[in-house]
């Protein structure tokens, strides 16, 4: 999804959108021939196709807002909130991005408005990557990967004001050069709340330790906590730093959000690091003195387990965790959906519940999921994959015919097996292309909402050539 107009905006963010995809995809193809023989005994249910309908709720234009690479949030009235990485004004070349709202005006009808336009360096944030979240008062919280006092990004809050406008407050400006050089840098995940109103998230870099190199700058990432204080102020504390030192088995470079279990422990994943460097699942356990103890509970080992988990985990009512890996899987697959089950005596057990496949001619299923999951009360998983589906030759170029992405569900049966149903395959035209959001939103009626980073109006953000459909992205609704 290389667009000329993005220019210099694609620096750190390429970890997700460019550099990391190139790195993981290249390694994936290099490993395909060597790991195919790894044996795993697991029976998967066949996938199916459902003729769902898709509706475009908003088509973006670089002049105002473009490149919605995050997921959405929904309030109790069915209004949608999201961000775009580019567009608007600000000192970011192609714009520093916006926070937008789609106000529900009727059945299936929405009205678009911009709540905030980011200004960029030295003050405001820039280039939001994580989806926004809402509190009960209607305040909108989120992170930006850039901007702030040191260019390391910010945590922001948008508060509704009389007349429908929103006022922005910077709750924390990340600065890896101060705070004893242990602050994080470049948060790319969404935030979560605890019952006391504390906010938690991850940064992809920083944390101290002086580690520099590929994907690390003054450390390899952090888990942070923001505690509300008097007069609307927040105090940030780094509750875990990923050191990235040689021989260390801890994870590195978290890009996904966190999730709480029923005991108040935090869980997350890292796309690299761990034993073998293929990524980890970790747990942070709170201590009585307010500190946290981190445990790397699972290290991915290669194709047999999936490798490079790039986004969030979700948890079911039994405490099982689910996520995706960009690469690997059964029979030389192209990424997986995995399940991690905590064990009574400690530790976890991992199993693959779906492997994405792409054959030599066409990719009917998704390919290399950088996207996260959503789970409902019945344990059904909802997800999108930013490539695959094989619906058109608009995305990827060459052979096989990749396709511009899919929306799918994984439905469990009483035996614990999951059946994949592909709800929609993106064509790469006005319907959108490359859904890259960290999660989908599902309303009470089962309608599914998300964003695509490309597609829509191809004249607004022209294609770079074969394999890139152009367009500045859309907000979509899929009705099963």
Predicted pLDDT at 214: 72
Predicted pLDDT at 52: 84
- What mean pLDDT do residues 60-72 have? 93
Nearest alpha carbon to residue 130 among 312, 324, 283, 366: 312
Overall size of the chain counted in residues: 480
Predicted pLDDT at 2: 33
Predicted pLDDT at 94: 83
Question: Exposed (0-12), middle (13-18) or buried (19+): which is 198, by Cβ within 10 Å?
Answer: middle
Residue 467: pLDDT band by 50, 70, 90 thresholds? confident
Q: Which helix (H) or strand (E) holds 334?
A: none
The phi, psi pair for 461, rounded to 5°, reads -130, 90
- What mean pLDDT do residues 108-133 have? 93
Residue 92: pLDDT band by 50, 70, 90 thresholds? confident
For residues 431 and 290, what is the distance between their CA atoms, to the nearest angstrom?
Answer: 48
Whether the CB-CB separation of 192 and 142 falls below 8 Å is answered with no
Whether the CB-CB separation of 450 and 407 falls below 8 Å is answered with yes
DSSP assignment of 163-181, as one string?
TS-EEEEEEEE--TTSGGG
The gap between the terminal CA atoms of the chain, to the nearest Å, is: 28
Whether the CB-CB separation of 434 and 395 falls below 8 Å is answered with yes
**pLDDT at 444 exceeding the cut of 70:** yes
In this prediction, what percent of the chain has a pLDDT beyond 90?
71
Q: Locate 102 and state its tokens.
A: 């789609």
Whether the CB-CB separation of 467 and 398 falls below 8 Å is answered with yes
The percent helix, strand, coil of the chain (3-state, each to 5) is 10, 40, 50
Alpha carbon of residue 90 to chain centroid: 24
- What mean pLDDT do residues 354-362 have? 88
**pLDDT at 349 exceeding the cut of 80:** yes
**pLDDT at 323 exceeding the cut of 50:** yes
Predicted pLDDT at 7: 29
Phi-psi region of 62 (alpha: psi -120 to 50; beta: other; left: phi over 0): alpha
For residues 221 and 378, what is the distance between their CA atoms, to the nearest angstrom?
Answer: 34
Residue 15: pLDDT band by 50, 70, 90 thresholds? very low
Predicted pLDDT at 64: 87
**pLDDT at 32 exceeding the cut of 70:** no
Residue 216: pLDDT band by 50, 70, 90 thresholds? confident
Whether the CB-CB separation of 184 and 222 falls below 8 Å is answered with yes
């Amino acid at each position: 999804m290389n667009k000329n107009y993005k220019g210099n905006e694609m620096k750190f963010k390429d970890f997700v959108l460019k550099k990391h995809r190139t790195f993981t995809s290249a390694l994936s193809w290099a490993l395909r021939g060597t790991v195919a023989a790894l044996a795993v005994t697991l029976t998967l249910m066949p996938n199916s196709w459902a003729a769902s309908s898709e509706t475009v709720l908003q088509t973006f234009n670089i002049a105002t807002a473009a490149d919605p690479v995050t997921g959405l949030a929904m309030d109790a009235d069915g209004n949608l909130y999201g961000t775009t990485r580019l567009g608007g004004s600000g000192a970011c070349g192609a714009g520093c991005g916006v926070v937008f709202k789609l106000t529900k005006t009727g059945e299936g009808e929405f009205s678009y408005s911009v709540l905030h336009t980011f200004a960029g360096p030295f003050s405001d944030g820039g280039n939001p990557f994580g989806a926004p979240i809402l509190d009960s008062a209607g305040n909108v919280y989120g992170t930006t990967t850039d901007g702030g006092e040191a260019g390391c990004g910010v945590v922001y809050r948008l508060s509704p004001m009389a007349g429908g406008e929103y006022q922005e407050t910077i709750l924390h400006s990340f600065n890896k050069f101060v705070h004893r050089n242990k602050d994080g840098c470049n948060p790319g995940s969404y935030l979560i709340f605890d019952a006391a109103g504390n906010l938690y998230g991850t940064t992809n870099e920083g944390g101290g330790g002086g580690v520099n190199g590929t994907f690390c700058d003054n450390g390899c990432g952090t888990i942070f906590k923001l505690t509300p204080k008097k007069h609307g102020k927040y105090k940030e504390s780094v509750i875990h730093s990923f050191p990235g030192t040689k021989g260390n088995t801890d994870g590195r470079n978290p890009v996904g959000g966190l999730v709480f279990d029923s005991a108040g422990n935090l869980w997350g994943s890292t796309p690299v690091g761990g034993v073998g460097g293929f990524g980890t699942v970790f747990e942070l356990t709170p201590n009585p003195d307010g500190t946290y103890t981190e445990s790397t509970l699972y290290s991915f080992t290669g194709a047999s387990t999936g490798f490079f988990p790039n986004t969030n985990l979700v948890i079911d009512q039994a405490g099982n965790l689910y996520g995706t890996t960009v690469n690997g899987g059964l029979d030389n697959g192209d990424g997986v959906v995995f399940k991690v089950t905590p064990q009574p005596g400690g530790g976890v057990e991992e199993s693959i519940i779906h492997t994405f496949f792409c054959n030599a001619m066409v990719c009917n299923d998704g390919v290399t999921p950088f996207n996260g999951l959503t789970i409902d009360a019945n344990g059904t998983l909802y997800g999108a994959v930013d490539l695959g589906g094989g619906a058109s030759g608009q995305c990827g170029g060459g052979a096989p015919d990749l396709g511009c992405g899919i929306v799918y569900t994984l439905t469990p049966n009483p035996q614990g097996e999951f059946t994949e149903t592909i709800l929609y395959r993106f064509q790469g035209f006005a319907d959108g292309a490359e859904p890259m959001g960290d999660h989908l939103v599902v309303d009470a009626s089962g309608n599914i909402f998300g964003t695509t980073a490309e597609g829509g109006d191809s004249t607004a953000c022209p294609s770079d050539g074969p394999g890139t459909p152009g367009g500045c992205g859309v907000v979509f609704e899929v009705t099963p």
